[in-house]
Structure 1
Amino acid sequence: MTEWIIGNIKDVKYWTKNLFSIILNAEVNNFIAGQFAKLALKINGEKIQRIYSYINSPKDKNHEFYISNIKGGKFTPYLYKLKINDKIMISKNASGIFTLNNIKVCENLWMLSTGTGIGPYLSILQDGICFKKFKKIILVHTIRYINDFNYLYIIKKIKKKYKNKFVLQIILTRNNHINDSILYGYIPNLIRSGDLEKKIGIKIHKNNSHVMLCGNPNMIKETRKILEINKNLSRNFINKSGNITSEQYW
C-alpha cells in the first residue's frame, strides 16, 4: 500500500503549450536514479494518481517531474494549473527497476527515448554513476519539433563535463529541417535502415551494448522486436541477464 506524504510546489515550468514540469519539495525516502514516484491530487472529492519519473539527481533536495498535458485528461490539466506553494501528494517511496542496478557493465549504453520518456535518463545522467560504469553513453531523443527539446540546458552541462563519453542524437518526426546533425523519422525505422548507427558512428552489438527504451509503447515494442531479430539482442530481467531494458507507463 502506498504511503503518501505532502509535497510543496516550488515552481512550475511551462515549456510549450502541452509540456511542463513541476518542481516540489517533500521528505521522500532516498530513490535510485531512473525510478518513479506516484503523484496524487484530490479532484472533485476523488484521489487521482499517476506515476512520473524523477528527473532530478537523487542528491537534489527538490524533485522535478516532466509532464505532458493531456487534453481532456483526468489528472494532468490539474497539475498544469498548480501554483507555487500549492500542495500535492507524493509517494514516500520510489518504485521501478528502470535503473542501472540490473544492467551489466559493457562498453556502450544506449538511452532511447520519445517525448517525456527522456525523464529517467536525465536523472541517471545527472547522477553520474553511468559514466563510471560504461565507456560511452548515447542518448537518442525523439521529439516532434526542435522546440520540444526542453532540457537542452542540462544536456549541455553533461556534455561539457563528460565530453566524448557522452553522445546526443536528436530525432525529429516532423519535416522541418534544422541542420545536418539532426535525424528525421522514427527510432525503429532508423535502426532498421542502419541510419541511426551510421549517423552516430557506433554499432549496436550484443557483445558490447545495452539498450534502454523509454517512452511511447509502440516505439518500445517495435524497437525491441527489431533489436531482437536484427541484432540478436535479448530482454533484460532481474533473474536473466540481457541487452534490452524498457520502461513504459501506459
Structure 2
Amino acid sequence: MAQWVKGEIVDIIHWTETLFSVKIKADIAPFKAGQYTKISLQQQGKRVARAYSFVNPPQSELLEILLVEVQDGQLTPPLHQLKVGEYVDIAHQATGFFTLDEIPPCNVLWMISTGTAIGPFLSMLDSEDVWQQADKVILIHGVRTNDDLCYREKLQQLAQSRDNFVYQPLITREPPEAGGLAGRVTDLIENGVLLQHLGYEQFPDHSHFMLCGNPDMVKSCSAQLQQMGYQRHRRAKPGQITVEQYW
C-alpha cells in the first residue's frame, strides 16, 4: 500500500476549461524522470487515488502534474476545484520503468505522445540525461485542438535553443497553426507526411521509439512500427520500442 504524505497546492495553471497543471510542495522520495506517482483525495469517506506522471524533472523543488478533467470522474473534478493553499495526498514513493535508463543509447529518440501523456517526456527533456542518451530528440504531441498544446511556448523555445531537438505538434480536429501537422501519428507515418515534413525519407538508423498516451495510439503505433521491422524493447531482449499506456 502507498505511504501518503501531504502535498500543498502552490500554483495552478489553466490551459483550457478542462486541461490544467498543478504544482505541489511535498516531501517525497527521489524519483526518475518518466516515473509516476499517485494523487488522492478523500471523497465521501473513501480514499480515491489515481496515477499521474511528473511533469517536472527530479531536481525541481516543486512537483508538477498535468491533468484533464474527466466528466463524471471521481478524482479530476474535485482536483480541478482545488485552490492554492489547499492540500492533496501524494504517494511518498514514485514508480514506473518508462525512464531513460531503461532504453539503449540511440541516434534519434522519438518521443510520441498524445494529450496529457506528454508529461513524462517534459520531465525527461528537463533532465540532462536525455541529451546523453540520444544524439537527437524528436517530440511528437498529438492533440485535438491547438489550444490543447500545453507547454507549447516552452517547447518552441527549447527547439530554438537546441539544434538536436525537434518539437512536432499534431492536430486532429481543426486546422493546425504554423508548424503543426493535421492528422493522427499513425496516419502521418503511413502516408509518409510526418517523415517528409521532418526531412527524412525513412526513420534514421538506430532510432528508438518511446510511445506514451492513449492506449489505442500506443497499440496501433507499436504494431505499425513492428510491421516496419522494429521490435519491442525488453531488458532480456533489447529492441527499439518502449511503451507506456496512460490509463
- Tell me if both proteins adopt one fold, taking TM over 0.5 as the criterion: yes
What is the rounded CA distance, in whole Å, between the counterparts of 2:151 and 2:169 in structure 1? 12
Give the secondary-structure state (helix, strand or coil) at the position aligned to 1:52. Answer: strand
Give the secondary-structure state (helix, strand or coil) at the position aligned to 1:33. Answer: coil
2:60 corresponds to which letter in structure 1? Answer: D
What is the rounded CA distance, in whole Å, between the counterparts of 1:177 and 1:248 in structure 2? 26
What 5-or-longer segments of structure 2 have no aligned partner? none
What is the identity percentage for the equivalent residue pairs of Structure 1 and Structure 2? Answer: 37
What is the rounded CA distance, in whole Å, between the counterparts of 2:26 and 2:16 in structure 1? 26
RMSD after superposition: 1.2
Q: Give 1:200-215 correspondences, 5 Å limit.
A: 200-202=198-200, 203-205=202-204, 207-215=205-213
Give the secondary-structure state (helix, strand or coil) at the position aligned to 1:141. Answer: strand
1:82-116 deviation per Cα after TM superposition (whole angstroms, max 9, x unaligned): 11111111111111100111111110000001110
What is the rounded CA distance, in whole Å, between the counterparts of 2:224 and 2:150 in structure 1? 29
For the pair 1:243 / 2:240, whether they are aligned, the reply is yes
For the pair 1:222 / 2:220, whether they are aligned, the reply is yes
1:191-210 deviation per Cα after TM superposition (whole angstroms, max 9, x unaligned): 111111111113325x4100
**Cα 1:177–1:59 shift into 2, 3 Å:** closer
Match of 1:57 in 2: 57
Larger deviation, residues 48-57 vs 187-196: 187-196
Match of 2:169 in 1: 170
For the pair 1:96 / 2:69, whether they are aligned, the reply is no
1:179-218 deviation per Cα after TM superposition (whole angstroms, max 9, x unaligned): 3x2211101111111111111113325x410001011110
2:183 corresponds to which letter in structure 1? Answer: G
Larger deviation, residues 193-202 vs 211-220: 193-202
What is the rounded CA distance, in whole Å, between the counterparts of 2:177 and 2:123 in structure 1? 28
Displacement after TM superposition at 1:177 (Å): 4.4
What is the rounded CA distance, in whole Å, between the counterparts of 2:217 and 2:176 in structure 1? 22
What is the rounded CA distance, in whole Å, between the counterparts of 2:214 and 2:196 in structure 1? 24
Q: Normalising by structure 1, what TM-score?
A: 0.95
What is the rounded CA distance, in whole Å, between the counterparts of 1:9 and 1:25 in structure 2? 7
2:243 corresponds to which letter in structure 1? Answer: S
What is the rounded CA distance, in whole Å, between the counterparts of 2:155 and 2:177 in structure 1? 19
For the pair 1:188 / 2:159, whether they are aligned, the reply is no
- Checking the alignment, whether the CA contact within 8 Å between 1:32 and 1:99 is kept in structure 2 is yes
- Checking the alignment, whether the CA contact within 8 Å between 1:126 and 1:158 is kept in structure 2 is no
1:220 corresponds to which letter in structure 2? Answer: V
Give the secondary-structure state (helix, strand or coil) at the position aligned to 2:159. Answer: helix
What is the rounded CA distance, in whole Å, between the counterparts of 2:32 and 2:148 in structure 1? 27
Give the secondary-structure state (helix, strand or coil) at the position aligned to 1:110. Answer: strand
Larger deviation, residues 125-134 vs 91-100: 125-134
Displacement after TM superposition at 1:249 (Å): 2.8
How many pairs does the alignment contain?
Answer: 246
Give the secondary-structure state (helix, strand or coil) at the position aligned to 1:127. Answer: coil
Match of 1:5 in 2: 5
2:212 corresponds to which letter in structure 1? Answer: C
Q: Normalising by structure 2, what TM-score?
A: 0.96
What is the rounded CA distance, in whole Å, between the counterparts of 2:9 and 2:100 in structure 1? 29
1:193 corresponds to which letter in structure 2? Answer: N
What is the rounded CA distance, in whole Å, between the counterparts of 2:54 and 2:177 in structure 1? 30
Match of 1:122 in 2: 122
1:122-151 deviation per Cα after TM superposition (whole angstroms, max 9, x unaligned): 000011211122110000111111111120
What is the rounded CA distance, in whole Å, between the counterparts of 1:48 and 1:121 in structure 2? 26
Displacement after TM superposition at 1:23 (Å): 0.6
